[in-house]
């Protein structure tokens, strides 16, 4: 029934588009050209892709449409004739389709960086609150036990299989996401398979930094955006045909989610706005060296470190891995807007040569208290 109604609308709109776009050229010859005509043609093509399974019918229409704009009405007559013929076509309509007009969606695939575990853990709980079942059949999230890759499966084969199914992809974009090669590979694979996707940004990630296969003009929202969450919930309810949750319950769940995300974002912000750099490596004696470290705090808060790990490499590729000791971190803090240099000494036993340290290969990881 839905297809027949849309077909009638397209036939009517086709004649209207022809009337609006019919122009007279040289020697009194008429042709059809204009944006309304192009729009109508594209709507017809989407209709055929969604409702018509006969490849010959689609091919004939697409051939006529390819050269229709800017030419005479013979192409129009062929296209409108095919639409009229479809009145006798036996349409088979799905009981549920996604907003893109594709097949029924049964599952959500959460594409994210493993470093954003806390965010996606909260997001999955929110999806459960909305009504998505707590099952790996309905949600795939590689970082969460129970929603991750089944035992015995290889990650790439499993992801390939998942992306070939009728799924909705949720991209959780962050600074970590764009630094993760596996995440970017997932993004590209989802784009190639033309999956419906939604973009959710972590609170500290800016819209302007969206890049890659993601369409920056497509509506996105931050995790802590109340209005965005309301629209997201409405879409999930519609696409997955979920039962309506009382708005008072939803508002409570939403508020709890936003508060949880706020705490995660505050800790993340401290890490993003704190810098630890190695300015110099000095050999003191055999098996001992000194690190000259610069600490920068651009926030208005006092920062205390939970841990600081260093991985040093020399010009020959030899590595030396160290962690700040409890004694070093005890009572050590950065005051608001503070920029200071600290010297710490470490013992080492590897073949690493401090005098040949390659600063470009240095890796530093740290965590701060919220």
Helix (H) or strand (E) holding 204: none
Asked whether residue 222 falls in the same domain as residue 322, the answer is no
* DSSP-H helix ranges across 103-145: 117-130
Asked whether residue 246 falls in the same domain as residue 152, the answer is yes
Choose one of 219, 241, 269: the last residue of a domain: 269
Distance CA 288, CA 322 (A): 12
Asked whether residue 147 falls in the same domain as residue 237, the answer is yes
Asked whether residue 323 falls in the same domain as residue 229, the answer is no
In a domain, 102, yes or no: no
In a domain, 135, yes or no: yes
In a domain, 94, yes or no: no
Asked whether residue 237 falls in the same domain as residue 336, the answer is no
In a domain, 220, yes or no: yes
* CATH at residue 342: 2.60.40
pLDDT value at position 100? 45
Give DSSP secondary structure letters for 267-320.
HHHHHHTEEEEEEEEEEEETTEEEEEEEEEE-SSS-EEEEEEEEEEEBTT--EE
Show the domain range for 343. 273-368
pLDDT value at position 266? 86
In a domain, 95, yes or no: no
Asked whether residue 222 falls in the same domain as residue 120, the answer is yes
Distance CA 298, CA 270 (A): 9
Distance from the Cα of residue 15 to its chain's centroid: 41
Q: What are 190-222's pLDDT values in tens digits?
A: 766 656 788 999 999 988 888 877 776 677 899
- The pTM for the full model equals 0.57
Choose one of 248, 269, 290: the last residue of a domain: 269
In a domain, 151, yes or no: yes
Asked whether residue 281 falls in the same domain as residue 239, the answer is no
pLDDT value at position 162? 79
Asked whether residue 139 falls in the same domain as residue 257, the answer is yes
Distance CA 352, CA 266 (A): 37
Q: How many domains does the chain have?
A: 3
In a domain, 216, yes or no: yes
Provide the 3-class DSSP secondary structure of residue 51.
Answer: helix
Asked whether residue 28 falls in the same domain as residue 50, the answer is yes
295 forms bridges with which residues in the sheet? 276, 340
3-state secondary structure 310-366: EEEEECCCCEEEEECCHHHHCCCEECCCCEEEEEEEEECCCCCCHHHECHHHCEEEE
Asked whether residue 166 falls in the same domain as residue 140, the answer is yes
In a domain, 149, yes or no: yes
Provide the 3-class DSSP secondary structure of residue 196.
Answer: strand
Distance from the Cα of residue 144 to its chain's centroid: 17
Q: How far apart are the first and last CA of the chain?
A: 57
Asked whether residue 79 falls in the same domain as residue 38, the answer is yes
Asked whether residue 232 falls in the same domain as residue 338, the answer is no
* CATH at residue 180: 3.40.50.10140
Place of tokens 């993004």: 187
Catalytic residue numbers read: 186
Sheet holding 196-201, edge to edge: 139-140, 107-111, 167-173, 196-201, 220-222
Low-confidence residues in the chain, pLDDT < 50: 94-102
116 forms bridges with which residues in the sheet? none
Choose one of 29, 59, 88: the last residue of a domain: 88
365 forms bridges with which residues in the sheet? 309
The DSSP letter of residue 220 is E
């Amino acid at each position: 029934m839905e297809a027949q109604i849309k077909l009638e609308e397209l036939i009517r709109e086709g004649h209207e588009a022809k009337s609006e776009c019919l122009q007279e050229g040289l020697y009194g010859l008429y042709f059809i050209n204009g944006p309304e005509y192009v729009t109508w043609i594209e709507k017809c093509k989407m209709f055929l892709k969604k409702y018509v399974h006969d490849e010959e019918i689609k091919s004939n229409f697409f051939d006529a449409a390819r050269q229709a704009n800017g030419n005479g009405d013979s192409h129009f007559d062929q296209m409108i004739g095919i639409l009229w013929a479809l009145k006798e076509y036996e349409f088979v309509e799905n009981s549920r389709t996604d907003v893109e007009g594709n097949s029924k969606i049964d599952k959500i695939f959460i594409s994210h960086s493993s470093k954003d575990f806390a965010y996606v853990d909260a997001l999955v709980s929110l999806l459960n609150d909305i009504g998505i079942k707590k099952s790996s059949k309905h949600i795939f999230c590689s970082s969460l036990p129970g929603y991750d890759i089944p035992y015995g499966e290889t990650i790439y084969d499993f992801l390939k299989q998942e992306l070939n199914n009728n799924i909705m992809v949720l991209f959780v974009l962050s600074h970590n996401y764009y630094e993760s090669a596996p995440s970017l590979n997932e993004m590209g694979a989802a784009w190639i398979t033309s999956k419906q996707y939604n973009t959710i940004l972590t609170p500290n990630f800016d819209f302007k930094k969206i890049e890659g296969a993601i369409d920056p003009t497509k509506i996105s929202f931050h995790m802590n955006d109340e209005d965005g969450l309301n629209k997201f919930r409405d879409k999930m309810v519609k696409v997955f045909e979920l039962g309506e949750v009382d708005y008072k319950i939803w508002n409570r769940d939403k508020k709890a989610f936003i508060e949880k995300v706020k705490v995660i974002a505050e800790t993340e912000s401290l890490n993003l706005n704190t810098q630890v750099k190695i300015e110099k490596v000095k050999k003191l004696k055999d098996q001992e060296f000194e690190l000259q470290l610069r600490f920068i705090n651009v926030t208005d808060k006092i920062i205390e470190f939970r841990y600081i790990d260093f991985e040093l490499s020399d010009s020959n590729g030899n590595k030396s891995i160290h962690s700040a000791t409890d004694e070093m971190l005890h009572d050590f803090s950065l005051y608001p807007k503070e920029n200071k240099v600290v010297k710490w000494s470490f013992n080492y036993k590897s073949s690493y040569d401090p005098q040949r340290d390659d600063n470009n290969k240095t890796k530093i990881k740290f965590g701060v208290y919220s």
